[in-house]
Chains A and B, each alone.
Chain A
Amino acid sequence: MSKVLMKGNEALAEAAIRAGCRHFFGYPITPQTEVSAYMAKKMPKIGGTFLQAESEVAAINMVYGAGGAGVRVMTSSSSPGISLKQEGISYIAGADVPCVIVNIVRGGPGLGGIQPAQSDYFQATKGGGHGDYHLVVLAPSSIQEMVDLTSDAFDIGDKYRCPVMIMGDGMLGQMMEPVEFKDADVSNLPEKTWATTGTGMKRKKNIINSLFLEASELEKLVLERQERYAEIAKNEVRYEAVDVEDADVVLVAYGTTSRIAKTAMAKAKEMGLKVGIIRPITLWPFPFEAFNNALNGKDKKFLCVEMSTGQMIEDVKLAVGDKAEVHFFGRTGGIVPTPKEILNKIIELGGAK
């Protein structure tokens, strides 16, 4: 397959279609509107559904309906829109309906701005909606990875019957990079025997539901779901770790920020500093093992870099415990940190040794 130059939002939409997604429900919001526009153009030509919903709330509930009826379905939005979808996301998690939700994050809170940010980390990884549930959260750092993870997102959702979020940011959505689409075979996806497809008078009825008034029944179901989450944590953790073993300073960054951190890392190395990086690809489940591997007895400092005032740092601290210092550098409100700013922080930490 040859490479094509594509905008992130459009590449993501194409990847979803290639993963067998034929149903997309969305609502326009910058900086992810190109996903909807692409779907609007493509879906009618391949017998799929693109529907511009009356609201983000309606869109996520259409996803719930279609996902419950057993098809691969996706919605896409950006921060304020994702807040509106939280009700539906909680119901989807509670009813064990697989689907893919894309958040191309912009600065917040409130209406915030439209420039890239990572300030929805808490919302994505720690709940967002009400109740005991998790989203699997995938954080690509390039358009190619966004394409690859979109396909994985549908597979993970179907395998564990859970909603999966792809979390990018305005920069990933808007930038163009060469991508190669690997042709996934989606002709033989496993049958969803639990879905509401009509009984055909051949089986007992299926119910898609998150209401369980009997407390003991609800507890049992929530605990069963927790077991599935443990399986996900065992099987689906993804991260990249580079030059961590011998590093004095280990950068921790995901998505767009990790690319900038890598530029800073290369410059620090030119100066003779020993710097490595851990890049979580799954934000939930968080890659704790990457930190266990890094804490090999050698004295290290961790520097968490985010486009927020410090959200992932809580997981980094949890992972590192009292075994090493954890420092933070972040910009927020839509400001993207520069390699120089990160480099200065590395020097400050490395030089203090």
Chain B
Amino acid sequence: MTYETIFAGFGGQGILFSGKVVAYAGMIEGKNVSHLPSYGPEMRGGTANCSVIVSDELVASPIITEPELLVVMNGPSLDKFENAVVPGGKIFIDSTLISRECERDDVESFRIPATQMANDMGIPKLANMIMVGKLIKETNMFTWEQLTGAVTKLVPPAKAAMLESNIKALEAGYNF
């Protein structure tokens, strides 16, 4: 089984970190993984995206040109990647920040008001984790325990409060 996901949005939304959570969970589960970020000037305040592959096979090319899974947290990212998604793929849209619907009828799309939810929950920086929660729920890439296990290992032990908020956000997305 191979999961190829593109995460995309603005710099500062934690796009690369959401990709890292997924790659990390894969690594803990003994899968082959790769995490390839966009880099350079476009990263400095502009758009950010990363390609994450979680696979039972060795990861050949870390570049994803035709993702099965797309997580987008701003309009330009949906415009850029919508048509690249393979038929039958899944698109996860932060509907607080993207007003338009997905225009494809051969993919499954999910609209999650992640930014609004995060604001309401008092954790405005963790909309990305809400999106990850939903992604994992709809793909069964990992179990809930595997997902929270990865986040627990990623967040430094000294920052217990931060871990708690991350899990709260994941849960909100997972149960949405």
Contacts and interface: CB of A to CB of B under 8 A. Distances in A.
| Contact between chain A and chain B defined by CB under 8 Å | yes
A257 B63 CA distance: 11
A175 B40 contact: no
B40 A266 contact: no
Given A5-B24, A5-B33, A266 B39 contact: no
Given A5-B20, A5-B27, A114 B60 contact: no
B61 A259 contact: yes
Contacts of A266: 60
A266 B39 CA distance: 29
A263 B27 contact: no
Contacts of B39: 30-31, 114, 170, 174
Taking each of B20, B36, B59, B60, which has the highest tally of chain A beta carbons within 10 Å of its own beta carbon?
B60
A260 B60 contact: yes
Interface string B37-68: 10111000000000000000001111101000
Contact of A115 (B24, B40, B61): B40
Contacts of A5: 20, 23-24, 27, 33, 35
B36 A174 contact: yes
Contact of B27 (A3, A338, A340): A3
Contacts, number: 61
Given A262-B60, A336-B63, A178 B36 contact: no
Contacts of B65: 338-340
B18 interface: no
B34 interface: yes
B172 to A, nearest CB: 25
Contact of A263 (B32, B34, B41, B61): B61
Contact of B60 (A176, A177, A263): A263
Contacts of B63: 171, 260, 336, 338
A12 to B, nearest CB: 16
Given A3-B27, A262-B60, A336-B63, A175 B36 contact: yes
Nearest to B30: A3
A249 B34 CA distance: 28
A175 B60 contact: no
A338 B61 CA distance: 9
Nearest to B19: A176
Nearest to A334: B40
Contacts of A262: 60-61
A253 to B, nearest CB: 11
A116 B141 CA distance: 30
B36 A259 contact: no
Interface residues of B, number: 19
A171 B34 CA distance: 11
B60 A259 contact: yes
A5 B26 CA distance: 10
Interface string A181-220: 0000000000000000000000000000000000000000
Contacts of A31: 39-40
A70 to B, nearest CB: 36
A105 to B, nearest CB: 14
A169 to B, nearest CB: 12
A255 to B, nearest CB: 12
Contact of A178 (B33, B37, B40, B62): B33
A171 B24 CA distance: 19
B18 to A, nearest CB: 13
Interface in A159-179: 170-171, 174-178
Contacts of A177: 33-35, 59, 62
B141 to A, nearest CB: 16
Interface string A247-276: 000000000100110110010000000000
Contact of B34 (A176, A338, A340): A176
A175 B27 CA distance: 14
B34 to A, nearest CB: 5
Interface of B: 20, 23-24, 27, 32-37, 39-41, 59-63, 65
Interface of A: 3, 5, 30-31, 114-115, 170-171, 174-178, 256, 259-260, 262-263, 266, 336, 338-340
Ranked nearest first, the 3 interchain pairs of A and B with the lowest CB-CB distance are A176-B35, A263-B60, A260-B61
19 contacts: A3-B27, A5-B20, A5-B24, A31-B39, A114-B40, A114-B41, A171-B62, A175-B34, A175-B35, A176-B23, A176-B35, A176-B37, A177-B33, A177-B35, A177-B62, A259-B62, A262-B60, A263-B61, A338-B65
Given A176-B37, A262-B61, 13 more contacts: A5-B33, A31-B40, A175-B35, A175-B62, A176-B23, A176-B35, A177-B34, A178-B32, A256-B62, A259-B60, A260-B63, A338-B63, A339-B60
